[in-house]
Amino acid sequence: MTALSVNINKVALLRNSRGCDEPNVLQFSQDLIKLGAEGITLHPRPDGRHALYSDVYELKKNIDVELNVEGYPSEDFLEMVCEVKPDQCTLVPDPPGALTSDSGWDCEKNMDFLQKVVARLQAEGVRVSIFLDPDPVQVNFAMKTGTDRIELYTQSYAESYGTDSFEKVFAGYFATAARAVELGVGVNAGHDLNQENLTYLKQNLPGLAEVSIGHALISEMLYQGMETTIKNYLDCLK
C-alpha cells in the first residue's frame, strides 16, 4: 500500500498572497482527508513564502492522518520539529533562497551532521526520511545516518517520463529503491509527480511506502476540482 500525502505548500502560497486566511490551510487539509488523503505534507521555507511554522502546529493539533514536515535541518527548524513531533520529518538540503527542492543529500559528505540530526529527531519519536537522488551508492550512506526512510527525488523521473531516456532513468530509481529495501530502509518518493506519471511509479518501484505530491495536484484541482483530483490520485495508487 502506498500512502498519498498531499503537500499543501501551494494552498498556503495562495493564502499568503492576500494577507488573509483564505483559503484556510487547516480546513483545506481536513477536506482533503475526508476525500481520502492519507497524509499531509508541508515544507515551511525560511522566507515564509508559503507554509509557515504556525501551519505545522495547527495541523498537528487538528488532523488525524500522518503529518510530514519537510525542510533543511537548521536549528530553528529542528527546534520546531522537536516541539511539534510530526509523524515524519523529511530532511532536504535546500539553501534558504531555493526556488524549489532541486537535489538530494550527499550523505557521505554530510554523514556526521545527518547522524546527529537523525538521532535527535528519532529521540523525539519522529520518523526520519532523507531526500535522495536516485543513486544506489547513496543509499548505503543514507542507511549509515540511521534514517528510517529515504525520499526519492523524482524530478528527473517526471522529466524523462514518456521520452526515449525514460528506461535508463527509471533503472536508476529501481536500483536505488531495491537497495533501500535490501537494507531495510523505507522508500518514499516525491517532486513533480502527477496523474500521468504516478501509476507507473507505483506499479514498478520496489517498496514504495508514500508519495508526497503538491504542485501538480493542487494545479490539477483548479481544472478538475478537489474530489475528482483526489479520486484520480487514489486510483493511480491502487
Ligand X SMILES: NCC(=O)COP(=O)(O)O
Residue number with the smallest Cβ distance to ligand X? 190
Q: Is 182 a catalytic residue?
A: no
Instruction: Report the nearest approach of ligand X to the CB of residue 230 (Å).
Output: 14
* Least distance in angstroms from the C-beta of 9 to ligand X: 6
C-alpha cell at 184: 531495510
Among candidates 221, 176, 177, which has minimal Cα distance to 195? Answer: 221
Q: For ligand DXP, how many residues bind (rule: CB under 6 A)?
A: 13
Q: Which of 29, 30, 41, 138 binds ligand X (CB under 6 A)?
A: 41
Contacts of 171 (CB under 8 A, 6+ apart): none
Cβ pair 23, 36 in contact under 8 A: no
Residues 203-222, interacting with ligand X (CB under 6 A): 212-216
Peptide bond into 134 cis (omega under 30): no
Q: Produce one character per residue of 75-103: b if its CB has 16 or more CB atoms within 10 Å, e if not.
A: eebbebbeebebbbbbbbbbeeeeeebee
Q: Is 79 a catalytic residue?
A: no
Q: What is the rounded CA–CA span in Å between residue 104 and residue 122?
A: 20
**CA gap 181, 102 in Å, rounded:** 24
Among 2, 7, 147, 176, binds ligand DXP (CB under 6 A): 7
DSSP for 137-155, written as a single string: HHHHHHHHHT-SEEEEE-H
Q: Indicate whether 43 belongs to the interface with ligand DXP (CB under 6 A).
A: yes
Is 225 marked within a binding site? no
Residue 191 annotated in active site: yes
Among 92, 118, 211, 218, binds ligand DXP (CB under 6 A): 92
Q: How does DSSP classify residue 205?
A: S
For ligand DXP, the closer CB: 167 or 191: 191
Residues 190-219 that bind ligand DXP (CB under 6 A): 190-191, 212, 214
Using CB under 6 A as the criterion, what x/- string covers residues 146-185 for binding ligand X?
-----x----------------------------------
- State whether residue 173 is helix, strand or coil: helix
Element (H, E) at 76: helix 75-84
Residue 15 is a binding residue for ligand DXP (CB under 6 A): no
From 38, 191, 210, 220, the catalytic residue: 191
Annotated binding-site ranges for 3-amino-2-oxopropyl phosphate: 7, 18, 192, 214-215
* Residues that bind ligand X in the complex, under the rule CB under 6 A: 7, 41, 70, 151, 190-193, 212-216
* Residues that bind ligand DXP in the complex, under the rule CB under 6 A: 7, 9, 43, 45, 70, 92, 100-101, 131, 190-191, 212, 214
